Chains A and B, each alone.
Chain A
């Protein structure tokens, strides 16, 4: 399900604070990697002639997994390619990412998927999984050949960017999960309620004159999809939740035994619609930034595990397409290179989220949601490691981006927390 190069790098990280929340590790330790595999965890580990990285004052954790990335390939290689998007992922501390199928053409056939898999095997800096569309052309009319797509390597299915409007069709997709075993990930938006909405419906949209995109446009669809998943007894993944009502629906469903997972994005966890007063097109995304009560509900849900995954929804856009009036700009912001620092600065440092919880929600949480093996710091495991400097401060954009696009919602902001080293599938993918 993941495609990319495996590495056989040798490495010792010395005296870092090693945290693997899933395995309950948190201590100052050395970690040795031999030929891409973790070979020793302990004190005073013999360097064995390997490259030694000094980890004093740094945190070594399982590398991150992003379940929601737009690589814009095929079709908009000016905005992102597999090479540039995975390089951005490596710089952000990720060892694996999942790419959405809303490309041009849409990833709805084994042929399109096959060409992506081939390119990834050659170009990807970190392993990539590709989601295929639920419906042909994402038109919401008929199902894709999901079994064939699963055989061709689809990591899951999603019509992300668009909802599957017809409930009957959504039900059929869930039924077919029995055959494919690959997760169905849904973009929850009821289009007759969101219609033309640009900004969360509330005081800010009223004052600025924007068509409102109400929370209920998301939560009614969340409710519907959870009901269908419960009825069919199939798992479902909810993409980029933004509204507190959606979190409420999810809690009820989980309590009732529905096998649901959900993700939240750094921008929804950090910002509210108040930010939109600047009319900066880099604050325009779908779903929109919502109110403070929504933001707090999302943070609470990430803390208690109701939302088990953090996803960037990295959505690169060409500069000229964002340098237009807010209303004309496309939805979406980049996020791979800033996710950890944004959340460390805005949630961990103020005491809203413990660091180990953040690390878990950025790594094992999303991996499990899609049935991937969670990265872990364990002898015998392939090395998927990120070395983080919690003290370092940097200004977003000062050194450019590895992404081909620069539509970051954090442009010019000073953040704390920097990725120093990323090891993905046994290969040093980034050193900064």
Chain B
């Protein structure tokens, strides 16, 4: 007996047309990043006006699908869509059918039935945005998938560096802490090296994944290695991802003593960034977090402009090059 189960949809998906989605920084070219950052700058200027809403995406629908808790990312995507006049709907796993055991496939298909133009998804598992991209015809924006990628975070970090430190080409960024569990680190390593920055990873041996040098960064277990950096990028110690008994570290106390970013370990003028949420007193000394060299709130603000740029880029021009003045026009 032959069981005929194979249908076309089972076959591996044809590669999507270029930049239909934003799932990984690896999908972007240097030109794409330059264009997105220029678009974000135009949006920042437009938001200086009294009337902050732009008509650009009127009639478009953006669905935010959040399977993980988030303050910064979900609020900033929501506001970005609203500032562009899109209809936006935010669905969180808490209180949704996900709690009744609905699969990601069925949740995605249900929401896709409303024909959203964009689905923004955050999910605790690597590859969730790929699956949604395969199952729906919407543009998919990855707002964080497990330990894999968080591309809009990396873009807003590039934006912040360009605005407050200088050209990314040649800048030296030290990324400090739990690289192993950090999607922010992975997206940033790719984005920074793509744009010509030098990246040094600093952290405890068990939290620096084996083989990561192949991404084009230097690696050190000595906190002194942050000394040469223009920017010290502090990662959250992701306690919620520390599986019991994994013994990555003897204790958090030991982490703070060895790798905590304190005023004594910084040079004057070194800028400090953090993707949030911070554990003050663990990976970052409160005096550092509150200092004038900390760009942490700046990063949050940049998130809005960058996410507006991402939505705009996907929906209006897609793969075609967007000229900065075109944005001014609609603005």
Contact = CB atoms under 8 A, between A and B. Distances in A.
Interface of A: 83-84, 87, 195-196, 201-212, 214, 278-281, 319-320, 323-328, 397-404, 406, 411-412
B5 interface: yes
B249 to A, nearest CB: 16
Interface stretch (B143-151, B156-164, B166-174): B143-151
B95 interface: no
Given A207-B211, A326-B126, 13 more contacts: A195-B243, A206-B209, A206-B210, A206-B212, A212-B209, A324-B131, A325-B125, A325-B146, A327-B125, A397-B6, A400-B4, A401-B6, A404-B5
Given A195-B246, A279-B126, A325 B131 contact: yes
B146 A196 contact: no
B123 interface: yes
Nearest to A199: B126
Please classify the interface of chain B as helix (H, G, I), strand (E, B), loop, or mixed, using the class held by over half of its residues: loop
A27 B148 CA distance: 54
The listed residue with most A CB atoms (<10 A of its CB), out of B148, B212, B246, is B148
Interface in B1-43: 1-6, 10-12
B211 A206 contact: yes
A201 B210 contact: yes
Contact of A323 (B3, B125, B131, B146): B131
Nearest to B14: A412
5 contacts: A206-B214, A209-B186, A214-B210, A401-B3, A402-B1
B43 to A, nearest CB: 30
Contacts of B91: none
Contact of B243 (A196, A208, A412): A196
B96 interface: no
Nearest to B4: A400
Taking residues whose C-beta sits less than 8 angstroms from the other chain, chain B's interface range is 20 to 34
The listed residue with most B CB atoms (<10 A of its CB), out of A84, A325, A327, A412, is A325
A205 B148 CA distance: 9
B105 interface: yes
A209 B148 contact: yes
Contact of B146 (A327, A402, A411): A327
B211 to A, nearest CB: 4
B104 interface: yes
Contacts of A400: 2-6
B186 A397 contact: no
A424 B215 CA distance: 51
A206 B215 contact: yes
The listed residue with most B CB atoms (<10 A of its CB), out of A196, A201, A323, A402, is A323
B102 to A, nearest CB: 12
B198 interface: no
B258 interface: no
A411 B12 CA distance: 7
A351 B2 CA distance: 34
Contacts of A397: 6, 10-11
Contact of B5 (A206, A208, A328, A406): A406
B60 interface: no
Interface in B131-147: 131, 145-147
Contacts of B211: 201-207
A398 B6 contact: yes
Nearest to A279: B127
A412 B15 CA distance: 14
Contacts of B103: 320, 323-324
Q: Which 4 A-B pairs have the closest CB atoms?
A: A209-B147, A325-B125, A279-B127, A326-B127
Contacts of B243: 195-196
Nearest to B23: A279
Contacts of A204: 211
A84 B1 contact: yes
B11 A207 contact: no
The listed residue with most B CB atoms (<10 A of its CB), out of A209, A278, A403, is A209
Contacts of B214: 203, 206-207
A203 B148 CA distance: 13
The listed residue with most B CB atoms (<10 A of its CB), out of A214, A326, A399, A402, is A326
Nearest to B209: A206
Contacts of B126: 208-210, 279, 325-327
Contacts of B130: 279, 325
Nearest to B210: A201
Contact of B105 (A87, A208, A323, A411): A323
Nearest to A196: B243
B274 interface: no
Interface string B227-256: 000000000000000010010000000000
Contacts of B125: 324-328
B146 to A, nearest CB: 6
A281 B146 CA distance: 15
B183 interface: yes
B121 to A, nearest CB: 10
Nearest to B181: A209
Nearest to A192: B245
Contacts of A203: 211-212, 214-215
Contact of A325 (B12, B128, B215): B128
Contacts of B4: 400
A201 B211 CA distance: 8
Contacts of B145: 325
A207 B123 CA distance: 18
Contacts of A404: 3, 5
A280 B134 CA distance: 11
Given A206-B210, A212-B209, A83 B1 contact: yes
